[in-house]
Amino acid sequence: MQCPHCKNILEEQRNPIPTVDIIIEIEERIVLIKRRNPPYGWALPGGFVDYGESFENAARREAEEETGLQVVNLRQFHTYSDPGRDARFHTASTVFIGQASGVPRAADDAAEAELFQQDDLPELAFDHAKILQDYYTFKKSESTWRPA
C-alpha cells in the first residue's frame, strides 16, 4: 500500500520525463534513425527510460530496438534538459556514446536507420543538432571539453 504523502507527491508533482539518446559510432560515422512517429524527422536513436530500468540499460535497449545493433563501450556524455527540447512535453535526456559494428536496420520506432558522416548530416529533430555539435567538439578535444 502506498503512503498518502507519496500518493500526493505523485499526483501533484510535474517532473521532466527521463529519456536517453545514444550516439552510436561505427568507424568514422554515426547512426541516425528516421522517426516512424511524430515528431517526424531524423534523430539519434533513443527513447523513454522504463520504470525500474537503469539509464545505461535503456540506452542499450533503445539502440538495439531501433537499429538492431549491439552497443559496446557505452559511456555517458551529457544530459540535455531544456524544457523546450521536445515540443510534446518536458524531457531530460541523458546522452550516451557507444560503438557498434555492422549495418543498422530500422525497427520499432525507426522507419529508416542510416550511417552519416559529420559533413552530411540531415536536418535533425529535437535538440539533436546541438547534441551532435557538442559531440563533434568533444571528439576534437576530448581531454579539455566541457558541455555548456
Cell of 83: 524544457
State the catalytic residue, choosing from 11, 64, 112, 114. Answer: 112
Q: Within 10 Å of residue 130's Cβ, how many Cβ atoms?
A: 15
pLDDT at 11: 60
Instruction: Tell whether pTM > 0.85.
Output: yes
**Blockwise average pLDDT, block size 10, the chain, 148 residues:** 53 84 97 94 96 97 97 97 92 97 93 97 97 95 65
What is the Cα–Cα distance from 63 to 25, expressed in whole angstroms?
12
Measured CA to CA in angstroms, residue 127 lies from 17, 79, 133, 144 at distances of: 15, 12, 10, 23
pLDDT at 116: 98
Domain definitions of the chain by residue range: 4-140
pLDDT at 10: 52
The CATH number, out of the four listed (3.30.930.10, 3.40.1350.10, 3.90.79.10, 3.40.50.970), of the domain defined by the range 4-140: 3.90.79.10
pLDDT at 7: 56
What is the Cα–Cα distance from 138 to 55, expressed in whole angstroms?
21
pLDDT at 1: 46
Active site residue 112: yes
Q: Write down how long the chain is.
A: 148
Judge contact between 64 and 45, C-beta under 8 A: no
Cell of 84: 523546450
pLDDT at 94: 98
What is the Cα–Cα distance from 68 to 52, expressed in whole angstroms?
23
Read off φ and ψ for residue 72, nearest 5 degrees. -120, 170
pLDDT at 8: 58
Judge contact between 104 and 113, C-beta under 8 A: yes
